[in-house]
């Protein structure tokens, strides 16, 4: 069986700058907002400690960028280095996705978060800090009307001023996003290789096999 | 060609080269817990897929379960019971081994995995939990993943992984009195920041690592993820093998001998090259404590709260300003002597028997300061039992600590138990993020003995001043 995931090819959107460094997954989705054994219903808890002045009553803080009219429907986030560090909770990615975020641009990412993005149709883009800051400034200067254009097949981001910025992505990650591939389905096609490894390995490392 | 330890482990688990530095790696073990593992199992079930080798998959209850005496399936955390019962049903349906509430093997996933001999040197192991890197201290290639990758590992016994860069961190010299493994790792992250290891798999080595007892080595590797590393690993040696031998799932007899023969080869070749090389002089490390909201905000215990105007760049300055506001601290204030409301000893970083013995030594015959809430949560039910058989629980309780059942407890706030708003807590855990231990709670990370000394003093304290 092969499941189809959401494909990512190109995207044009305003980007919301949340330019702190080390934004951890506890901040993206606080533990207390993970209320069920599910991947759904998480966007209401996204950034809960920053987004609400009263978390329990869900009173929005008008100062938080995603609560502002021009940034409410953005599909891109801009952030500082090490975005998504901390807990492995994939709920952070599920919350962003449910909210409508399709791409995060930052100078670096937490490794587990990065992998979780790719497996959920969200594109993590690593760009130089100066570039991300310039995008953030363009957004602020235009009151959230300037757009970024992302082209994953070309590995390119076009800034509001027409500047082109290429980014690196591992070929396998790119393919997974562009094709909307289900990695489990792909790997299961290699069942014979896995089995052959296991047969060899049982002789070489018998202590591994409980 | 000379290889690093990580490269040797990588090669030994390569099922297929996927090209472009990506490898299909064989996963020897998968461990789950009721918080994120439950989602993996449910996801697999929904996709109509089965666990490929359930006999090599384990699960425990640690994240959601209460740690108060007399606990059951009901939790202080709202909706918690659902995680517990769902996990139990899913584990049963999948045919995997569950260390359930009441099972004497229950405990924090990374503590029990080592304790039961489920993790062995040279194995690959994943868990949908970022602190899986803890188990690298046994010479295993172990790292945290998301729930979807968890499904992949369960269904296929493999993961497609992009090869990380390599880093060697050498801890030279010897630790001074009162200085611990926790101080080593906090000092490293404090010096090179919380993103200092990004994209790298780390080999921790050097005389100070070799001198560490096995349980303390887990503390070092535990925080590799707080350094943004893919994982951290320590080459197995006699200390490792002594720890592993005789554990319930460890091999025995002739198989043990064969395994040992192989494990002896698990070290970097002499001329192996690393993408990055860092050395730390341990004679200069003193007890460490964090002042801010990132594990990289570390300081010497005799240091002061830093001044954002002295930050190396604009990003760091704004991060420091925000952290100081959250922590309610003023630049120049000495960390030692800051009054605390609570002291927490527990978590996958520091909750093992040796930690509790060290803590008991510090607090024996002393009393927790008036008004300080002090809690000890053993890392596993086995640790709890062993501590009680040595009478450590009595020493701790007499000193004024609460003595709990094992679990993750108040390392994080999940809607249930937590520390109070704006309370200042010194904690033996690994994360001092905003709101991590409670709404607006202010966390200072430190070693368990520093936490114990601070609980006694009622303020952040230098454990060395309590004397040998």
Q: Per-residue b/e over B172-197, b at no fewer than 16 CB within 10 Å?
A: ebebeebbbbbbbbbbbbbebbbbbb
Taking contacts as CB-CB distances below 8 angstroms, the residues of chain A near B148 are 90, 116, 119-120
Residues B128 and B228 both lie in one domain: no
The domain A10-179 having CATH identifier 3.20.19.10: the answer here is: yes
What are the pLDDT digits (tens) for B73-129? 999 999 999 999 999 999 999 999 999 999 999 999 999 999 999 999 999 999 999
- Residue B468, pLDDT score: 60
Residues B215 and B321 both lie in one domain: no
Average pLDDT over every residue of B384-410 = 98
Helix (H, G, I), strand (E, B) or coil at B79: coil
Final residue in a domain of this structure, among B284, B318, B346: B284
Residues B279 and B352 both lie in one domain: no
**CATH number assigned to the domain comprising residue B421:** 3.30.499.10
Q: Tell me the C-alpha to C-alpha distance, in Å, between residue B316 and each of A27, A31, B191, B296.
A: 18, 26, 13, 11
At residue A181 the predicted structure's pLDDT band, cuts being 50, 70 and 90, is: confident
**CATH number assigned to the domain comprising residue B177:** 3.40.1060.10
Q: Are B126 and A112 in contact (CB under 8 A)?
A: no
The answer on pLDDT for B9 being more than 60 is yes
Q: Which residues pair with A78 in a beta bridge?
A: A17, A105
How many angstroms separate the CA of residue A71 from the nearest CA in chain B?
Answer: 23
Number of separate domains in chain B: 3
Give the one of A21, A37, A184 whose C-beta lies nearest to B156's C-beta.
A184
Q: Is B86 on the interface with A (CB under 8 A)?
A: yes
How many angstroms separate the CA of residue A109 from the nearest CA in chain B?
Answer: 8
Residues B153 and B241 both lie in one domain: yes
Give the one of B122, B128, B228 whose C-beta lies nearest to A82's C-beta.
B228
What are the pLDDT digits (tens) for A62-119? 999 999 999 999 999 999 999 999 999 999 999 999 999 999 999 999 999 999 999 9
For chain B positions 97-136, those within 8 Å of chain A (CB to CB) are 120, 122-123, 128-130
CB neighbours (10 Å) of residue A78?
27
- Residue A145, pLDDT score: 95
Residues B151 and B232 both lie in one domain: no
Taking contacts as CB-CB distances below 8 angstroms, the residues of chain B near A26 are 412, 431, 433-436
Q: Is A189 on the interface with B (CB under 8 A)?
A: no
Inter-chain CB proximity A35 and B157 less than 8 Å: no
Give the one of B128, B255, B414 whose C-beta lies nearest to A88's C-beta.
B128
The mean of the pLDDT values for chain B is 97
Q: Is B172 on the interface with A (CB under 8 A)?
A: no
Reference B224, options A114, A170, A85, A107; nearest CA is: A85
Average pLDDT over every residue of B201-220 = 98
Domain residue spans in chain A? 10-179, 181-210
Share of chain B above pLDDT 70, in %: 100
Would B5 be classed as within a structural domain? Answer: no
- Residue A149, pLDDT score: 98
Can you say whether the dihedral through the CA atoms of A141, A147, A152, A154 is positive or negative? negative
Residues B305 and B441 both lie in one domain: yes
What are the pLDDT digits (tens) for B99-109? 999 999 999 99
The answer on pLDDT for A5 being more than 80 is no
Average pLDDT over every residue of B258-278 = 98
Q: Which helix (H) or strand (E) holds B327?
A: helix B314-327
Please give the residue range of the domain that contains residue B403: 288-466
Q: What is the ipTM of this complex?
A: 0.94
What are the pLDDT digits (tens) for B430-445? 999 999 999 999 999 9
The answer on pLDDT for A1 being more than 50 is no
Reference A104, options A82, A89, A86, A88; nearest CA is: A82
Q: Is B39 on the interface with A (CB under 8 A)?
A: yes
Distance of CA B112 to the CA centre of its chain: 12
Residues B150 and B194 both lie in one domain: no
Reference B57, options B201, B137, B156; nearest CA is: B156
Residues B441 and B304 both lie in one domain: yes
Q: Are B201 and B9 in contact (CB under 8 A)?
A: no
Residues B258 and B280 both lie in one domain: no
The residue assigned the tokens 């990003």 is B315
Would B130 be classed as within a structural domain? Answer: yes
Share of chain B above pLDDT 90, in %: 98
Cα B382 to Cα B319: distance, rounded to the nearest angstrom: 41
* Radius of gyration of chain A, Cα coordinates, nearest whole angstrom: 19
Taking contacts as CB-CB distances below 8 angstroms, the residues of chain B near A32 are 77, 413-415
Would B187 be classed as within a structural domain? Answer: yes
Instruction: Tell me the Ramachandran region of residue B373: left when phi exceeds 0, alpha when psi lies from -120 to 50, beta otherwise.
Output: beta
CA of A54: which chain B residue's CA is closest?
B439
The mean of the pLDDT values for chain A is 95
CA of A196: which chain B residue's CA is closest?
B15
Residues B274 and B214 both lie in one domain: yes
For chain A positions 1-40, those within 8 Å of chain B (CB to CB) are 1, 3, 20-22, 24, 26-27, 30-32, 34-39
Strand A123-126 and strand A103-106: the pairing is parallel
Distance of CA B252 to the CA centre of its chain: 28
Cα B167 to Cα B190: distance, rounded to the nearest angstrom: 17
Residues B74 and B218 both lie in one domain: no
Q: Tell me the C-alpha to C-alpha distance, in Å, between residue B222 and each of A67, A155, B83, B128.
A: 37, 35, 25, 14
Residues B85 and B136 both lie in one domain: yes
């Amino acid at each position: 069986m092969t499941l189809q995931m959401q494909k990512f090819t190109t995207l044009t959107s305003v980007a919301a700058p949340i330019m702190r460094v080390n934004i951890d997954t506890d901040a993206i989705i606080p533990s207390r907002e993970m209320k069920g054994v599910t991947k759904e219903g998480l966007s209401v808890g996204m950034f809960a400690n920053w987004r609400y002045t009263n978390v329990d009553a869900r009173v929005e803080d008008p100062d938080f960028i995603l609560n502002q009219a021009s940034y409410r429907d953005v599909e891109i986030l801009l952030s500082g280095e090490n975005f998504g560090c901390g807990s492995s909770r994939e709920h952070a990615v599920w919350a962003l996705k449910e909210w409508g975020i399709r791409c995060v641009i930052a100078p670096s990412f937490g490794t587990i978060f990065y992998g979780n993005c790719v497996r959920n149709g969200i594109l993590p883009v690593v760009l130089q800090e100066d570039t991300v800051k310039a995008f953030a400034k363009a957004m602020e200067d235009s009151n959230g009307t300037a757009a970024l254009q992302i082209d994953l097949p070309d590995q390119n981001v076009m800034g509001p001023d027409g500047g082109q910025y290429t980014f690196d992505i591992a070929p396998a990650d790119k393919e997974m996003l562009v094709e909307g591939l289900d990695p489990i389905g792909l790997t299961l096609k290699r069942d014979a290789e896995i089995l052959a490894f296991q047969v060899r390995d049982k002789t070489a490392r018998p202590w591994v096999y409980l | 060609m000379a290889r690093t330890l990580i490269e040797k482990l990588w090669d030994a688990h390569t099922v297929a080269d996927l090209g472009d530095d990506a490898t299909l790696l064989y996963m020897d073990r998968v461990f789950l817990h009721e918080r994120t593992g439950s989602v993996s199992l449910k996801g697999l079930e929904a996709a109509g897929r089965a666990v490929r080798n359930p006999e090599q998959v384990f699960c425990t209850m640690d994240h959601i379960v209460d740690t108060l005496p007399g606990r059951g399936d009901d939790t202080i955390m709202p909706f918690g019971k659902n995680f517990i019962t769902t996990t139990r049903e899913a584990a049963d349906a999948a045919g995997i081994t569950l260390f359930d509430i009441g099972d004497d093997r229950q405990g924090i996933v990374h503590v029990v995995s080592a304790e039961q001999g489920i993790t062995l040197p040279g194995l690959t192991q994943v868990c949908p939990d970022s602190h899986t890197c803890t188990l690298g201290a046994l010479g295993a290639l172990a790292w945290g993943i998301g729930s979807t990758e968890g499904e992949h590992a369960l269904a296929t016994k493999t993961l497609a992984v992009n090869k990380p860069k390599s880093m060697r961190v050498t801890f030279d010299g010897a630790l001074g009195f009162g200085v611990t493994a926790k101080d080593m790792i906090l000092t490293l992250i404090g010096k090179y920041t919380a993103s200092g290891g990004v994209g790298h798999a780390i080999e921790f080595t050097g005389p100070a690592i070799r001198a560490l007892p096995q349980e303390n080595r887990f503390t070092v590797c535990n925080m590799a993820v707080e350094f943004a590393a893919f994982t951290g690993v320590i080459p197995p040696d006699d200390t490792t093998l002594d720890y592993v031998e005789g554990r319930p799932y460890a091999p025995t007899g002739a198989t043990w001998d064969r395994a040992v023969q192989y494990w002896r080869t698990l070290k970097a070749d002499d001329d192996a090259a690393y993408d990055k090389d860092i050395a730390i002089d341990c004679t200069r490390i003193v007890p460490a404590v964090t002042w801010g909201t990132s594990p990289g905000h570390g300081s010497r215990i005799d240091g002061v709260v830093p001044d954002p105007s002295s930050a190396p760049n604009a990003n760091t300055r704004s991060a420091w300003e925000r952290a100081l506001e959250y922590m309610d601290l003023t630049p120049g204030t000495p960390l030692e002597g800051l009054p605390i409301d609570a002291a927490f000893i527990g978590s996958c970083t520091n909750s093992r028997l040796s930690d509790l013995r060290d803590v008991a030594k510090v607090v024996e015959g002393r009393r927790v300061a008036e008004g300080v809430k002090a809690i000890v949560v053993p890392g596993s039910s086995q640790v709890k039992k062993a501590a009680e058989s040595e009478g450590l629980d009595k020493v701790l309780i007499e000193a004024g600590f609460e003595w709990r059942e094992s679990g993750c407890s108040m390392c994080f706030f999940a809607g249930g138990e937590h520390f109070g708003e704006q309370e200042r807590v010194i904690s033996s855990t690994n994360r001092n993020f905003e709101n991590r231990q409670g709404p607006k709670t202010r966390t200072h990370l430190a070693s368990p003995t520093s936490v114990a000394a601070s609980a006694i003093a009622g303020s952040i304290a230098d454990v060395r001043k309590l004397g040998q």
